[in-house]
Amino acid sequence: MKIKNSLKTLKARHKACRIVKRKGRVYVINKENPRFKARQR
Protein backbone atom coordinates (compact mmCIF):
# COMPACT_ATOMS: atom_id res chain seq x y z
CA MET A 1 0.00 0.00 0.00
CA LYS A 2 1.33 3.42 -0.93
CA ILE A 3 1.17 6.35 1.49
CA LYS A 4 0.57 9.59 -0.39
CA ASN A 5 -0.01 13.23 0.47
CA SER A 6 -2.62 13.62 -2.25
CA LEU A 7 -4.91 10.83 -3.43
CA LYS A 8 -6.56 12.79 -6.24
CA THR A 9 -3.81 11.85 -8.69
CA LEU A 10 -4.01 8.16 -7.77
CA LYS A 11 -7.75 8.06 -8.26
CA ALA A 12 -7.38 9.45 -11.77
CA ARG A 13 -5.16 6.57 -12.84
CA HIS A 14 -7.84 3.90 -13.04
CA LYS A 15 -11.60 3.98 -13.54
CA ALA A 16 -12.32 1.43 -10.80
CA CYS A 17 -10.62 3.40 -8.02
CA ARG A 18 -12.80 4.60 -5.14
CA ILE A 19 -11.95 7.01 -2.35
CA VAL A 20 -13.07 5.72 1.05
CA LYS A 21 -12.86 7.26 4.54
CA ARG A 22 -12.19 4.86 7.41
CA LYS A 23 -11.28 5.80 10.97
CA GLY A 24 -10.34 9.33 9.94
CA ARG A 25 -7.97 8.15 7.20
CA VAL A 26 -8.53 8.45 3.48
CA TYR A 27 -7.95 5.38 1.32
CA VAL A 28 -8.00 4.59 -2.38
CA ILE A 29 -9.24 1.06 -3.00
CA ASN A 30 -9.65 -0.83 -6.23
CA LYS A 31 -11.41 -4.18 -6.42
CA GLU A 32 -10.33 -4.91 -10.00
CA ASN A 33 -6.65 -4.12 -9.48
CA PRO A 34 -5.58 -4.28 -5.80
CA ARG A 35 -2.18 -2.86 -6.77
CA PHE A 36 -3.64 0.66 -6.57
CA LYS A 37 -4.35 0.59 -2.83
CA ALA A 38 -3.20 3.77 -1.13
CA ARG A 39 -3.57 5.67 2.14
CA GLN A 40 -3.32 9.34 2.93
CA ARG A 41 -1.27 10.48 5.93
Domain spans of the chain, in order of start: 2-40
CB 22 within 8 A of CB 28: no
Cα distances (Å, whole numbers) of residue 22 to 1, 6, 13: 15, 16, 21
Q: Which amino acid is at 12?
A: A
Cα distances (Å, whole numbers) of residue 18 to 14, 21, 30: 9, 10, 6
Which pTM was predicted? 0.78
CB 38 within 8 A of CB 1: yes
pLDDT tens readout for residues 5-35? 988 888 888 899 999 999 999 999 999 999 9
CA torsion 31-38-17-24 (nearest 10°) is 100
